[in-house]
Structure 1
Amino acid sequence: MKRILLALILVVATSAASSALAGGLTMVPEGNRHAEQPKVPGASVRRTRAGRTTFDDKYEKIRDLLASDKKLIAKIKSTAVDYGIDPIHMIGAIVGEHTYNVDAYDRLQTYYVKAAAYAGNSFRFGYGDETIQQFLDRPEFGKCDDFADSYKLWTCREGVWEKSFRGRSVGGTAFPDNRFSAVFFQPFYAGQTFGLGQVNPLTALMLSDMVARNSGYPKLDENKAAAVYDAIMDPDKSLAYMAANIRRSIDDYKSIAGMDISRNPGITATLYNTGGSAQRAAALAARGGLPEENYYGWLVNDKLAELKSLL
């Protein structure tokens, strides 16, 4: 009897998972694929221990911050409308970042104060004595000049970095075997993501055109680093970049993998954590199956009822 019941459950689950939407899209169902939370990376564990806290404590802190700030929730809802996404995706990303990557400040106002501390600072993006503009003037990047859209432009440039510069010596300069964002867009050497949405500068540059269209903020310029930091550290502006990031992930999975992930906040949270939605969508399309949440997305789905109550 148990075997028959299990078989029926599997049939129903498989049918739900493979139900196709109009246009041939497969709707990714709600919930976690993993019965237990995937392993949390050691770096996150060490950071949390160093702060003499726990993941449970950090989760409760960011949850309480969101629950106590109705103005912030209203801004999240309004921004989500601008990008055509459910605000629960933004809640999930904020909770995931502040549970596993950084600590939440006690009040939203603290984020404004911290953002203001960077205003007017004189710094630039680059590596060593080479500015980002000088680096992009190298002939290897010439093929990227055909792209007008900021997402395609910076995706192309990131690809050139991976293929031609990462871990190589080129033109007398030895480049580190590290990500483009870490090498050229980390002038403070103190973490690569900032603000309420924990967006890194390269991601902001990629999403600049979408944010300009949907939110009306000025387009970003890689030669004006202070303006980039203002965009990702000011809470109001950072919400726009967060929403654009999530919108991009949803669109990438639709257009590349034929998957609609808009009803699974754990999957969008996973992609917010990992980045590389286009590459991951392509890998999924090649191997088949459904996307799976990581440790970060698993928490969001596991706490989904509680997180939805914040809205």
Structure 2
Amino acid sequence: MPAPDAPDGFPALTSEAQAATTVPPGNRHASQPRIPFASARRTAAGNAGYDAKFERIVGVLRRDSRLIRDIKRVAGLYGIDPVHMLGAIVGEHTYNYDSLDSAQSYYVKALSYAGIRMEFSLGGEHVEEFVKRPQFDRCNAGRKDTNTLWNCYQRVWDGTFRGKRVDGTSYPQKTFNEAFFQPLFAGQSFGLGQLSPLTVLMMSDKVAKTSGLEKLSPGNEQEIYRAAMDPGRSLHYMAAILRDAIDAYRVVANVDISKNPGLTATLYNLGDPWARASEYRRRRAAGTQTWPVENYYGWLVNEKIEVLRGLL
């Protein structure tokens, strides 16, 4: 699968660039980086240690042969090693979520959202209307894929509206996702891949083009939640996120991270891979960094890579 052009604001390497350098497998940190307090608090509240949660998740995956087949099939569509998807699932459910019962439980939960009325709005103004303001004109100029478009909206929100007073209205000190895309539970992501509605919208074009699933609109909130919750769909969005991270580092920094699942897991956890690839490129050019570095979440994936490969 060829890498795409860089989104607006992220300079790609010239066509004369040499073949991408492969980042070595394994961790750069000798020991696991510090785990954030929020993750530690969630784990303590559930009376389960990280090792116990990891083993439980691996056990669920080992028993669900249908899910493993689906992961392999979807990974193939997006041109990635399926172990990247396993890393994202294991990382999310070890550190950012309490449990993984089965893929079937997410099918059931997806159905429960069908009858819930929800709206992606702030102060009664829907996000579709909000982004028509003149501050977003540069985002709306020309034809852009959904990843570029929603990343642009997010940057304008951060630079112009977040925590500021604009045209007589004060806006909250919240991320774009927190301000508009959490009508049910603050700080919550959903489904097998713990996806946020905004992330689903960003990946909509890539998923539609690759899988044949319909393109999503921010005005159809139920379908976005279904995409996040239903494993038959959410696996595609997970794969698209991981593919996008690999593409970002190849296009912007000329390195291939596809052989290091801990790095793709790190980017899945942190988000914003194009900006992170750009920062890594700057640091490497300045001689202050040799390779991209995993965080606590990606460190676990690399540390347990043989266990994850054993599931396949």
Q: Which residue of 2 aligns with 1:25?
A: 20
Which one has the bigger helix percentage?
1
Q: Which residue of 2 aligns with 1:8?
A: none
* Higher mean C-alpha deviation, range 179-188 or range 246-255: 179-188
RMSD: 1.1
- TM-score normalized by structure 1? 0.91
Q: Which residue of 2 aligns with 1:296?
A: 297
Q: Per-residue deviation at 1:119?
A: 1.0
Structure 1 residues without counterparts, runs of 5 or longer? 1-21
| Distance of 1:273 and 1:56 partners within structure 2 | 19
Q: Is contact 1:124-1:225 (8 Å) kept?
A: yes
Q: Which residue of 1 aligns with 2:6?
A: none
| Distance of 1:105 and 1:31 partners within structure 2 | 26
Q: Which residue of 1 aligns with 2:87?
A: 92
Summarize the alignment of residues 100-111 of structure 1 with structure 2, pairs less than 5 Å apart: 100-111=95-106
Structure 2 residues without counterparts, runs of 5 or longer? 1-16, 285-289
Q: Is contact 1:28-1:261 (8 Å) kept?
A: yes
SS in 2 for 1:256: helix
| Distance of 1:129 and 1:71 partners within structure 2 | 42
Higher relative contact order (CA 8 A, sep 6+): 2
| Distance of 1:84 and 1:215 partners within structure 2 | 12
Q: Is contact 2:20-2:255 (8 Å) kept?
A: yes
Summarize the alignment of residues 51-62 of structure 1 with structure 2, pairs less than 5 Å apart: 51-62=46-57
Q: Which residue of 1 aligns with 2:217?
A: 221
| Distance of 1:172 and 1:52 partners within structure 2 | 47
Pick from 26, 40, 43 the counterpart of residue 45 of structure 1. 40
Q: Which residue of 1 aligns with 2:308?
A: 307
What fraction of aligned residue pairs are identical, expressed as a percent? 52
- TM-score normalized by structure 2? 0.91
SS in 2 for 1:249: helix
SS in 2 for 1:32: coil
Q: Does 1:207 align with 2:203?
A: yes
Where do 4+ consecutive residues of structure 1 move more than 6 Å?
Answer: none
* Higher mean C-alpha deviation, range 184-193 or range 283-292: 184-193
Q: Number of aligned residue pairs: give it.
A: 290
Q: Is contact 2:93-2:100 (8 Å) kept?
A: no
Q: Which has the larger radius of gyration?
A: 1
| Distance of 2:117 and 2:101 partners within structure 1 | 29
* Higher mean C-alpha deviation, range 265-274 or range 130-139: 130-139
Q: Which residue of 2 aligns with 1:143?
A: 138
Summarize the alignment of residues 107-146 of structure 1 with structure 2, pairs less than 5 Å apart: 107-145=102-140, 146=142
Q: Is contact 1:182-1:192 (8 Å) kept?
A: no
Pick from 270, 273, 288 the counterpart of residue 274 of structure 1. 270
Amino acid at match of 1:130: E
Q: Does 1:287 align with 2:283?
A: yes
Q: Is contact 2:128-2:219 (8 Å) kept?
A: yes
| Distance of 1:280 and 1:49 partners within structure 2 | 31
| Distance of 1:164 and 1:257 partners within structure 2 | 28
SS in 2 for 1:81: helix
Q: Per-residue deviation at 1:23?
A: 3.1
Q: Per-residue deviation at 1:25?
A: 1.2
Pick from 133, 158, 162 the counterpart of residue 158 of structure 2. 162
